[in-house]
Structure 1
């Protein structure tokens, strides 16, 4: 689908609105459709597992007093809530374990904000087909990741929350049938609510995924207000006090690739990476390197034989995940601590959702090994790149093993197999706060596989709550 060209500059909000509302299912590439289905299932699975994660119970308890309503499901639980509260809670659950998909070039988790808001509104309003959900997801990712790839400055605000909220508005606005004018207003109203900084990231606070949740709920509110006729500012991206200058400065954003995606059929949803491990994406090269080197050289090593591990990563990876190990970290701190994560991999061969719960967090063996793991920056000039990654492992017998990757596992050029994708999804399902059962899980897989034929996505949400019809 191509947008009409004009000699008069068009506001980005207007271009986003046109893209969101005028794109058809037939405009999507086969890969865009396939990846939309893959990551819709992946995001739901991660959100279900987050229902039992740290902070979810407190959020649900507090949110119970934020309005009566039962229009939308809380994934993995029997409770129901207003669409805004459901979007809030489910978005938190999606991002709180650092297991949700990511667009590496944008440094953004686009479906964490988008899908909870879209499904909450679709559940409330009814009649949203699976085909429409696929299109809404694709155009929403083009908006949020489009903003991310335009950035030329190092991230200081938390882009999965800030830019992610605009992608959620695009998806929800399309599903609600907003007019072009209303959707432009909705982007403006979203901007009045946009929030999220990296301070919670530095501190390892559960407020980090809460920022994603705020912006997901804000998208529901923005679209509802716009539909009711409430106006918002229009020059919210390029304006004097617009998003790009205030949130993505000081280097001017370059919108060339963003606009090319809107005009030329580039589907950023095809560029998403899975999270094969429940940890910050910037740690994944280190994880894979440790796994590979422990098995290399014809003689597998055990953790006691490791004297040191050095991980050389990009400046943004170093900034986000080189934090020092703590003897009693919070789960959110540990998920973004390379030394903690690396120690778990040395001990267990991998990192699992269970490794951020209970006594695992204070395990003395883990923290002894963590002292042997160091992350350093390669000092490259790109402020947003996550690659390359190099790992050097030294063992007690004097061996030095080295590994390097240019693209991390589960990136678009190294996609997970279907079986790896489904193994992750099924493992996530096991962590639901309330038992959802194997039958629901397998029915959901089948439903998403044939999503373009689904008449109403409420058939999906019915499988995500034990009290709903199955």
Structure 2
């Protein structure tokens, strides 16, 4: 339950959004913003390879034409709301985008897809985009981090929409009543539940795209003078009471303006749910140390938090689609054991139907450890039992990619190159290098269209 006499959470956020300018950002936050803009663009380019993108393009073709923003990789010009919907889906459709673990929010999917589309439409600069991303991530993740109950609505899409609305407002300098209206209008549209996650439905990622569009609509409506509800967090039907079961706004009080959350985001080295990353990390460490192969495996036991069990503890089964398999610890572990890692190609239909992989995955069992925090994604322990009877175990306090166990710059760039090479139209090495340089120099770009032109393969 909330602490009695808490200050007004929405007023804390409004003050933060209004008062922070690019010149206030520490270099470490600017650097982190560019790091995760690069990462999110990479996975968004790779996401163009997913077959459902064509279906979404067909659907949005009925929603109007426009020359405001572009689809990443293929370059079609569309209304900003439509481009944001497609690009948001592309960022999240392979479960490869970064995550803020304490909040259980993928902060860049809704945020970057909407902010880039809006920046294209309004010819905004790289500095404005960086500022918008930093503010948006603060809002999305600190709202999420205040929640003390388990996921039931899809926090990445819902908090992402509120964050994106804040970020666009910061980019444009929207303040006062218009800013509060924008957030209220966004709140009136936010959507997404965990039912798609349970079923492995492609709507899980499309909830990101829908909320990216909603954030743009919210800012446009507020700019036109339309009013929204105001008490959207702690009101009787505000976010904390309606969408979540319990909360404590101390993270907002303690961190807002003191710790920029873009610096607390985790990379996803592998295109699976983050809850399965500990399994891969642990198996890689054990294989390297003990030299066993997939054929030597009698059993794998994963001991994880309640959230790990909830998100990836599902059984492996025949007839899985890629969305289900990416959130299945057995399939994730089998792929890692067979290949030494997990990549986007492991979720092709031929792999999903591979009898050897399915049989190996059935040897993987996920259990609860003694952690009680319902939102924790670590620690995790992996124990391998070999056919010989030998047992090997590793305990991970911090999974690869987290701020406490970060990817090296080399590993970040390797992931980015692999992502660009797996796009529906692969990028050349020279185009990849050009794009990396553009993002490294993002604060020098005066018009985001000069960045987005580099996001079109074979431009």
Question: How high is the TM-score relative to the length of structure 2?
Answer: 0.96
Contact 1:129 1:456 in 2 (8 A): yes
1:205-258 C-alpha deviation (Å, 9 max, x unpaired): 101011111111100000000001111000111101001111122x2x211211
Picking from 366, 377, 385, the partner of 2:376 is: 385
Partners of 1:67 and 1:146 in 2: CA distance: 35
Q: Greater CA deviation, 452-461 or 391-400? A: 452-461
Give the one of 407, 423, 430 matched to 1:432.
Answer: 423
> What are the equivalent positions in structure 2 for 1:71-470 lying under 5 Å apart?
71-126=68-123, 128-249=124-245, 251=246, 253-262=247-256, 264-297=257-290, 300-466=291-457
Distance in 2 (CA, whole Å) between partners of 1:184 and 1:15 is 12
Deviations 1:351-372 (A, max 9, x none): 0011111311111110010111
Instruction: Note the 1:6-17 alignment, pairs <5 A.
Output: 11-17=8-14
Contact 2:9/2:249 (<8 A) preserved: no
Q: What's the CA shift string for 1:118-164, capped at 9, x where partnerless?
A: 000110110x2212211111111110001011001111111001111
Aligned to 2:40: 43
Give the Cα–Cα distance (whole angstroms) in 2 for the partners of residues 393 and 348 of structure 1: 17
The CA RMSD measured in Å over matched residues stands at 1.4
Tell me, yes or no, if the aligned pair for 1:18 and 1:180 is still in contact at 8 Å.
Answer: no
Q: Secondary structure at the match of 2:298?
A: strand
Describe the shift of the 1:435–1:285 C-alpha distance in structure 2 as closer, same or farther (beyond 3 A): closer
1:230 aligned counterpart, secondary structure: coil
- How far the C-alpha of 1:185 sits from its partner, in A, is 0.3
Summarize deviations over 1:82-138 as a string: whole Å, max 9, x none. Answer: 100011110010011100000000000011010010000110110x22122111111
Work out the CA distance in 1 between the residues paired with 2:364 and 2:6. 51
Q: Residue deviations 1:152-192, cap 9 Å, x none?
A: 11111110011111011011122233232111101100111
- 1:391-443 CA-partner distances (Å, limit 9, x unpaired): 11011111100101101111001111100000000000012222443322211
Runs of 5+ unmatched residues, structure 1 = 1-7
- The answer as to whether partners of 2:131 and 2:170 remain within 8 angstroms in 1 is no
Q: Which runs of 5+ in 2 are unaligned?
A: none
SS of equivalent to 1:412: coil
Change (3 A) 1:78 1:29: closer
* CA displacement at 1:466 relative to structure 2: 3.9
| Secondary structure, counterpart of 2:231 in structure 1 | coil
Tell me the CA shift for residue 379 of structure 1: 4.4
Secondary structure of 2:201's partner? Answer: coil
Structure 1 CA distance for aligned equivalents of residues 7 and 430 of structure 2? 50
SS at match of 1:182: helix
CA deviations 1:300-357 (Å, max 9, x no partner) are 1111111000000000110110111111211100100000010011110110011111
Q: Which whole-Å CA distance do the structure 1 matches of 2:136 and 2:369 have between them?
A: 33
Q: Secondary structure at the match of 2:404?
A: helix
Specify the alignment match of 1:3 in structure 2: none
Partners of 1:82 and 1:75 lie apart in 2 by 14
Cross-structure match for 2:66:
69
Cα distance, 1:10 vs. partner? 6.4
**Distance (Å, rounded) in 1 between the aligned partners of 2:238 and 2:378:** 30
Equivalent residues of 2:427, 2:458 under 8 A apart: no
Instruction: Name the CA shift for 1:9/1:258 in 2 (closer, same or farther; >3 Å).
Output: closer
SS in 1 for 2:143: helix
How far off is 1:9 after superposition? 8.0
